[in-house]
Every structure is written in structure tokens, then in C-alpha cells.
Chains A and B, each alone.
Chain A
């Protein structure tokens, strides 16, 4: 092989690598840029802050990854998180506070139940997920307002608040929960039959059915998982803000969907994964944190975030067309 040919070969390999790992590269570049631009960014406190701050959106985005892998969407997650948080909070108020474990079970249970309603309507009644979850967005928010009477539920027990504010060996509890969710979900999607089913349903539902995948059940299940994770996120949100607010979680679906899309999971289903979503979550978290540290106006923040979402999809598209 001539020297020139070898050079082109290496060049091609590098380009290939960049194509494949573009989003990871973007994350690393962002991290380095923020470290250089701001003296506070690369401090232990700040990185702990980032780890804590991304966990709620992270948990929601992991659930959203399951849903989007089946070519679905869930717009109701902010509202479901709000009602779960409110139900959980009502159990740990004042002198009659129950154990936080009861609150966790109740919150996650309510979320899973609402997810089951979403999933059943999508999987068995064949309604479009966009419509079903748009309806749930409104129903769950209304229910939250009725349940809370439009007032914050506060005076929560310290044990419950520990869920959002505490830490173990310097690692914030929300971060630990997020990490656990990531590991379990990654394993389920990568190394179990269930995971293969989820990809199969999103990739090609017809051939999935003919090869014996319980398509309806799988579709229903991803919304149940999403709902349960909304419950978890709602609990942490409530514990962090020390009160269940009737307006909590408004528009949280946008950041969760954005994280999944930035990571490279295709809205058409069947392509993507948890690792990609975690990168998406970190990118959004770093943008929020970095721009706050530098005091950039939130008007610019929204433009920057929106542009990055579109750029990520553009990058993804060009990557796919190469193969």
C-alpha cells in the first residue's frame, strides 16, 4: 500500500469514528469548553450540582427512551410526575407522616397505573400515543389541582425530604437513583428478551408480530415503565422543592424528549438506546449549568438549546446516510 493510500485510510477511519461518536465528542467538547470558560465549572461542588440537577430529567428521559424506541411518545410525563409527587407528599405531611417507603410505593404505583391507562389505550385500543398522552397531560394536571386544592402541600417529613436533598458519601440521592435507573434499564434493553422485543416492535411491528413478539403487551409495558419512572421523578422533585406544587413539572416532557433526540434515538423507533440518552441528558444539563454560571440570559439559553436539538438530528441524519 502506498503512503498516500494509507493516509486516506487513516483519514477515513477518523472520519468514521467522528461520525459514529459525534454526540459523545460534542459532550466532551462542551465539557472542556466550560472548564476553560468558567473558573467555577470544574469544581467538586459544581459537578455535584450538575449530577443532582440532571437526575430528574435523566430519569424521565430513560423512560422516554423506552417509549420512543417503540415509535411512541409520551407528553403527559410532567403532569403524571406532579400528581405522583402530590399523592406521595400527602402521606408524609406533618405529625401524621408515614414512612417515606409508603410514599415511594404510592407515588410509583399511581404513576404506573396512569401509565397503564396510557399504554392500554395505545396498545390495545390503537389510539395514536400523541393524542392519548396529550389527553392524559390535561387529565393528570386537573387531577393534581383537585387533589391539592390548588395549594402547595408542604411541611413534609425530613425522612422524605432526604430523598431529594440527602447524599451518601458525597453522592446526591437523586443521582444515585438516576444511576440505578440507568443501569437497570440499560441491562433490560441490551441483555434481555424483553429488550429485543422493544427494539423489534419499534423497528418493524409487522415482522415482530409474525415472529411471535407480543406487540400489544410490549407497547403497553413501555408506558407503564414511563409512568413508574414519572412517579420516581415526581417524588424527587417534591423532596427537592420541599413541597408538592400544583404547577410542578410543567413542560418537563420537552427536556426529556430533547435529551432522547439529542442522544440519537430515532423518533421513528427501533434505533437508539440508554447510553445515547444519558449523553443527551448530560448535554442539556451542562448547557443549563454552564450558561447559568456564565450569566447568559435565559432568552439566549432557549435559542442555544433549540439549535442544539436540531443540529443533533441533522448530524444523526448525515451519519445514517453514510451507511
Chain B
């Protein structure tokens, strides 16, 4: 075989293995399967990007295989069949649905594959070896407080909700409700779902602006997409977000840009932290005692989050308020 041919072959293998997400085996390689909700969501993209930047993934100690659940509980259940057949060393799981996610996770557990939760809980958390997420009740409290702090004399707000029944919707609603109840004079004019969608929130906000002309003083959105939809509706009506403040949750790219422009507020859900935290916990389980976490996240949040030997059942990654001071840096990290 000529040298050129060999070169070509190597290039092909590299291309093929790149396409298939597998890498040439290192000495001690742990295969971790990642069945996640759906790669169409920006947050999931950031999660995967963060996971791939974990030092153990970069140096080949861990080989990650992502399974895209396509927002369908059955697809995800099928993925667990595949994962069990392929005998992965561990699973990092982001369920499509909290109810439907429990059974597949239990199947993996029964097949001897430990399951680590990230981002979303299942209805029976005992199937998780450990869970790394962010507390959505806290996020609800933060988004409500942000808006209430900006209100003047009159305090009429509207609330845009996620898909009813989604665990994040339920918990964020709980946080919002508790802050609203504790704040004097705040009146919720309307509260409805826009299914996390910018387009749906835009139409809903347009209708609210018609139904409550000149009465809305603030917009609390359970995620950034919906906040951005509401901003578009306000803009179309010629209403400034200086007069009617809008706040969301998650810290997606467009929202960071909007914060930079001064049109909204948001708090960042640290996708990288959730991803890398779960990898560290899985490695602690696979490598055993003495494993030191390698993600920089434990350093970053050292004052509010502690590794504690990596044997706790739950780790909550703190929310990061996005401000003009840190938005530049957060945006730079995206690209």
C-alpha cells in the first residue's frame, strides 16, 4: 500500500469515527451513554458541548455516546434497550418525561449499569446513583423577584409558563407563586402556557396587550424563549421594556444578547456545570475512592457547592444571574 493510500485510509477512519462519535480506544476507557431529551434545544446543545470539554473526555479516559431522545419518551425507552445491549459502563440520563423515565432507568440499574441524573429528575429518584441539577424552585423565585424589584407603584404582572406538567414548569411556577404571595400589592393579571416557545409567547403576549391595554407592568417568563417572544410583542406595540420589564430563565444565547442590549434580565442555568458534574460523579463511581473531580466547576462554585467525596445523592449547581459585568464573558464562552 502506498503511503498516500495509507494516509487516505487514516483520514477516512478519522472522518468516520468523528461521524460516529467514537474515538480510538485509550488504555483505561470508560464508555458512558448519554440519553438526553432532544438535541433541538439550545440548552441540550450547550450541555453536550460542556460534556465534551470535560478533561476526562478530552484526554480519552471517557468515551461519550449521545442518544437523542427527540422529545419522545418511547424513543428514549428504546435507547435504553440499546444501551443495555451494548453494556455501557454508566449512563448519564436527562429524561424526556419524569414519569416515563423511571422505568428505563430501573432497567439499566437491574442490568448492572449505574444511572446518573443530570438536569431533570425522574419521579422515583432512587433509580439515580446521584443527581446533578439546578433547583428550579430557586429559579422561579429569582425571576419573579427580578421583575418585582423593578415595578413602580402599580404592580400588575403576567406569567408565561412552560408546558403544563413539565417538572421545570411545576417547580418554577412554585417559586414564582411563593415570591408573588410574599410581595405586597403584586397582582397576576394572567398566567398561561406558551410551551417554552418564542412564537407561542409572541402571539399570547399580543393578545394580552389587547386584553389588558396599558395595564401590564411586568412580564415573568419561565424560560428565555418565551421572554424573547414577549419582548417582540411589546416592541411591535411600541412599548419599551424600560416601562414593562421582562425576565426569563436559562441564559440562552439570544437572551444574553438581549441582556447586553438592556432589554431583559435572565439567570443562567449552567449546562456545562450540570454536564461535567455528572461526568465527575460517574467517574467517582467507576474509578472508586480517591478519584479527584477534574472539572473546573468545583473550583468555580467552591463557596456554594462542595464535592464531599463525590458520594452525596444530590448536587445542585447554583444559578448565575446574568449582568452587564459577566455577559461579555458568558457570550465569549459560547463561541
The interface of chain A, by Cβ under 8 A from chain B, is 40, 43, 45-46, 49, 52-53, 56, 149-152, 154, 165, 237, 240-243, 245-248, 250, 288-289, 292-300
Do B78 and A53 touch (CB < 8 A)? yes
B22 touches A (CB below 8 Å): yes
Residues of B within 8 Å of A149, CB to CB, are 164
Bound together, the chains give a CA A240 to CA B97 distance in angstroms of 13
Interface residues of B in 165-218 (CB under 8 A from A): 165, 193
Q: Which 3 A-B pairs have the closest CB atoms?
A: A298-B68, A150-B164, A243-B99
Listed residue (B71, B72, B82, B164) with the most chain A CB atoms within 10 angstroms of its CB: B82
Q: How far is the CA of A289 from the CA of B103 in the complex (A)?
A: 20
Contact for B103 among A45, A150, A242, A288, CB less than 8 A = A242
* Contact code string B223-239 (vs A, CB < 8 Å = 1, else 0): 00000000000000000
The total of interchain contacts (Cβ-Cβ below 8 angstroms) comes to: 90
| B79 to A, closest residue via Cβ | A292
The 12 listed contacts between A and B (C-beta, < 8 Å) are: A49-B85, A165-B103, A241-B99, A242-B100, A242-B102, A289-B82, A293-B82, A294-B20, A295-B66, A297-B39, A298-B70, A299-B39
Task: Tell me which residues across on chain A come within 8 A of B12, comparing CB atoms.
Answer: none
A295, B100: Cβ atoms closer than 8 Å: no
A241-B39 contact in complex given A151-B164, A295-B21, C-beta closer than 8 Å: no
Q: Is B163's CB within 8 Å of the partner chain A?
A: yes
Inter-chain contacts of B84 with A (CB < 8 A): 45
- B292 interface residue per 8 A CB criterion: no
A250's partner among B72, B86, B97 (CB-CB below 8 A) is B72
State how many angstroms separate the Cβ of A256 from the closest Cβ of chain B.
14
Given contacts A150-B163, A150-B165, A248-B74, contact A40 B97 (CB under 8 A): no
Interface size (B, Cβ < 8 Å)? 33
- Which B residue sits closest to A48, measured CB to CB? B81
In the assembled complex, how far is the CB of residue B77 from the closest CB belonging to chain A, in whole angstroms? 6
Contact in complex: A246, B165 (CB < 8 Å): yes
Interface status of B65 (Cβ within 8 A of chain A) = yes
Q: Quote the shortest CB–CB distance from A49 to chain B (angstroms).
A: 4
Q: Is the CB of A243 within 8 A of B100?
A: yes
Residues of B within 8 A of A300 (CB): 19
Complex: how many Å from CA A294 to CA B18?
12
B103 pairs with A56, CB closer than 8 A: no
B306 at the interface (CB under 8 A from A): no
Contact indicator B70/A245 (Cβ below 8 Å): no
Which single residue of chain A is at the shortest CB-CB distance from B63?
A295
At the interface, yes or no: B330 with Cβ under 8 Å from chain A? no
Residues of A within 8 A of B100 (CB): 152, 241-243, 245
A298 CB contacts on chain B under 8 angstroms: 39, 68, 70
A52 to B193, CA, bound (A): 35
Instruction: Evaluate contact between B81 and A52: CB separation under 8 angstroms.
Output: yes
Residue pair A40, B164 in contact (C-beta under 8 Å): no
Q: Is the CB of A240 within 8 A of B123?
A: no
Cβ-closest chain A residue relative to B38: A298
| B82 close to A292 (CB less than 8 A) | yes
Complex CA distance for A150 and B165, rounded to whole angstroms: 6
Given contacts A240-B74, A242-B99, A242-B100, contact A293 B86 (CB under 8 A): yes
How distant is the Cα of A279 from the Cα of B240 in the complex, in angstroms?
59
A295 in complex: contacting residue of B22, B39, B70, B163, CB < 8 Å: B22
Q: Which residues of A contact B71 (CB under 8 A)?
A: 247, 250
CA distance A195 to B113 in the complex (A): 49
Contact across chains for A292 and B67 when beta carbons are under 8 A apart: yes
B109 at the A interface (CB under 8 A) = no
Residue B331 interfacial (CB < 8 Å) = no
Which residues of A lie under 8 Å from residue B68 when comparing CB positions? 297-298
- Per-residue CB contact flags for chain B residues 102-118 toward chain A (1 = under 8 Å, else 0) read 11000000000000000
Roughly how many angstroms separate A294 CA and B164 CA in the complex, as a whole number?
35
Chain B, Cβ-Cβ closest to A236: B74
CB contact under 8 A between A297 and B165, given known A154-B123, A245-B100: no
Q: Known pairs A53-B78, A56-B74, A295-B65; list 8 more (Cβ under 8 Å).
A: A52-B81, A151-B164, A151-B165, A152-B98, A248-B74, A297-B21, A297-B39, A297-B68
Write out the residue numbers on chain A whose beta carbons fall within 8 Å of the beta carbon of B164.
149-151
User: Inside 8 A of A56's CB, which chain B residues have their CB?
Assistant: 74
Beta-carbon contact of A241 and B163 below 8 Å: no
Does residue B73 face the partner (Cβ distance < 8 Å to A)? yes
CB neighbours (8 Å) of A289 from chain B are 78, 82
Task: For A43, list chain B residues within 8 Å (CB).
Answer: 85
Cβ of B86 and Cβ of A40 under 8 Å apart? yes
Q: Which residues of A contact B86 (CB under 8 A)?
A: 40, 293
The residue among B22, B39, B67, B85 with the most chain A CB atoms within 10 A of its own CB is B85
